[in-house]
Amino acid sequence: MRVHSRTHTHTRACIRAHTYARTHTRACHVVQPKEAAFTLVLLHPDPSARPSVAELLDSDMFKNAASALRVRHAMMEAEEAVLETQVN
């Protein structure tokens, strides 16, 4: 069983506070409010209040990214096929 020392807990809290301050500037909320809100949920101080992996993968943020990556991958495969026909 691992016991966290008070210093370790304090260090984790400091890192979390620094990350929050760095990622949640007023400009971030204005320019990218959806991303800022998403990050707030991920950095919630109570681990049980944070989303599960399944919830993250089901979120719009990840679905949109996965869709964009699939489109990009298909474009790259098409470009590669064209290049192969040009070389052969």
Q: Which two tokens stand for residue 15?
A: 């890192």
pLDDT of res. 24: 56
Residue closest to 35 by CA, chosen among 53, 16, 59: 59
Q: What is the pLDDT of residues 1-22, one digit of tens each?
A: 454 555 556 566 666 666 666 6
CB atoms within 10 A of CB 55: 11
Q: What is the pLDDT of residues 28-77, one digit of tens each?
A: 556 678 888 888 888 888 889 999 988 988 888 888 888 888 899 999 99
Backbone dihedral region for residue 44 (phi beyond 0: left; psi -120 to 50: alpha; all else: beta) = beta
pLDDT of res. 18: 64
pLDDT of res. 56: 86
- 70: three-class secondary structure by DSSP: helix
Length of the chain as a residue count: 88
pLDDT of res. 74: 93
pLDDT of res. 30: 63
pTM above 0.85, yes or no: no
